Amino acid sequence: MMSSESVLPLPENPIIVGFGGVGVDFLAVVPSFPKPDSKIRTTEFTVQGGGNNGNTMTCAARLGLKPRIISKVSNDGPGKTMLEELEAEGVDTSFFVVSKEGTSPFSYIIVDNQSKTRTCIFTPGYPEMVPQDLSRANLLSALDGARVVYFDARMPDNALVIAQEAFHQNISILIDAERPREGLNDLLSLADYVVCSEKFPQAWTEASSIPRALVSIILRLPRLKFAIVTLGKDGCIMLEKCVDDEGSHIEEMDVDSCFVSLTTRKEDSTAMPTCIPSPVTKLRAEGIEESVCGRLYYGTSEKIPPSELVDTTGAGDAFVGAVLYSICANLSLEKMLPFASYVAAANCRALGARRGLPYRTNPRLASFTE
């Protein structure tokens, strides 16, 4: 029988709310990505639930949280399958809007077995969700007792209504910023935490490097406690905003130089993910007048043997799910980054966005919280 010490601890308040995309993924594994006007055969095919919101909430549920999802599907076969799959994972789907007619969202995903990349072709659902679909009573019920609300920045008009209510109730808000989108700036202005894709920071700020972009993001979004940028196999980088104690003598440092100094401390012999933090520093960036008092963190990724790497679909969603757990469990940031990287890597060992997501009974998970 497994000891309680080897199980991921349950947070005191495990309730989170997710709003955004759900869908069905049609995953086709091919020997290599097809050339135009060619015919190839799949080596494996599967149908799974997908969508950033659905994947992230499934990850959070497996880690022990109690997620509620607000989204919309149609009363068709794929929509029913999505709801059943989420409910089986322990996700509360009672706040879904189910349209009597129309089609549920879905994606075709081509997994290149040679390069281990995936290409997604997304088809939105119809009719789209509008703010009138969610009554105020249902919204208040969904947010009741929540520790964090997560947004993948889809359906911006609806997202802003939910985010504004969460803001007024003093519920923490986490935004997954994959790329600049309509309405994203309004959402970001309410955020406590943001997790970005590798391309987002520079696209959004026009900074010449990711570390400089992080300084710009923290300055532009004064509510943020931290901003994380995921870098795939190269790990992640995070900037935490700290209190600037005017009476203390805090060293000032160029943010690019600080990041380089962190990466040089990486131990290549270590296969498991680690976190390398800077001291509290006044970080300055070329072209930006103000500096930021904060800590820069470099998180390494797990070295996955090529024979174990199957599919990177949903790795970012898994990372965010683990960040949500970390916030609810009050994990230190030094523990959060390796934990999230491990969860993301575990998901890359199976086909699809959810099949490889670890459960809280995985003894390796608990070791990151000790």
Domain borders along the chain are: 7-19+51-99+135-367
3-state secondary structure of 54: helix
Q: How far apart are CA 277 and CA 332, in angstroms?
A: 12
Q: Which amino acid is at 155?
A: M
Contacts for 215 with CB less than 8 Å, ≥ 6 apart: 207, 239, 255, 283, 284, 285, 288, 291, 292
Distance of CA 347 to the CA centre of its chain: 13
Q: What is the pLDDT of residue 38?
A: 94
Instruction: Show the 3-state SS of 144-198.
Output: CCCCEEEECCCCHHHHHHHHHHHHHCCCEEEEEECCCCCCHHHHHCCCCEEEECC
The pLDDT tens digits of the residues spanning 314-367 come to: 999 999 999 999 999 999 999 999 999 999 999 999 999 999 999 999 999 999
What would the mean pLDDT of 62-83 be, rounded to a whole number?
A: 96
Q: What is the pLDDT of residue 248?
A: 64
Q: Give the architecture (CATH level 2) of 7-19+51-99+135-367.
A: 3-Layer(aba) Sandwich (3.40)
CB 369 within 8 A of CB 334: no
Give the chain's mean pLDDT: 94
Q: What is the dihedral of CA 32, 37, 42, 46, to 10 degrees?
A: 110
CB 217 within 8 A of CB 201: yes
The pLDDT tens digits of the residues spanning 1-18 come to: 344 568 999 999 999 999
Q: How far apart are CA 188 and CA 207, in angstroms?
A: 18
Q: What is the pLDDT of residue 249?
A: 77
Residue 219 CB neighbours (<10 A): 17
pLDDT band at 142 (very low <50, low <70, confident <90, very high): very high
Q: How far apart are CA 235 and CA 226, in angstroms?
A: 16
CB 55 within 8 A of CB 314: yes
Tell me the pTM.
Answer: 0.94
Q: How far apart are CA 27 and CA 351, in angstroms?
A: 8
Q: Which amino acid is at 3?
A: S
Contacts for 251 with CB less than 8 Å, ≥ 6 apart: 279, 281, 282
